[in-house]
Amino acid sequence: MAQRDHVLVERDRRRAIAFALAEAAPEDIILIAGKGHEDYQEIGGVRHSYSDRDTVRELLGEVSAC
């Protein structure tokens, strides 16, 4: 990205995914990279149950319920 004024950093993975889904136009593609098959997120050396797939399914369910 050449223009840094168009970069948003969101450290909370769920909020980042929710933002991407909310801001995407119908023809947009959202790439959620980095976790893959992992079913946990390590924060401060502690593993917490987490799945990008489940997060996306849940958030899309919230969107379609509106």
* Residue 51, amino acid: S
Neighbour tally for 57: CB within 10 Å? 11
Domain membership of residue 59 as a residue range: 4-64
Q: What is the pLDDT of residue 23?
A: 93
Which pLDDT score, from 0 to 100, does residue 1 have?
A: 46
The Cβ of residue 52 has, within 10 Å, a number of other Cβ atoms equal to 19
**pLDDT exceeds 50 at position 66:** yes
Tally of structural domains, the chain:
1
Indicate the Cα dihedral angle 16, 21, 22, 26, nearest 10°.
150
The per-residue pLDDT for range 17-64, each reduced to its tens digit, is: 999 999 999 999 999 988 777 888 888 999 999 999 899 999 998 766
Closest by CA position to 32, among listed 66, 2, 56, 63: 56
Q: pTM of this prediction? A: 0.75
pLDDT band at 7 (very low <50, low <70, confident <90, very high): confident
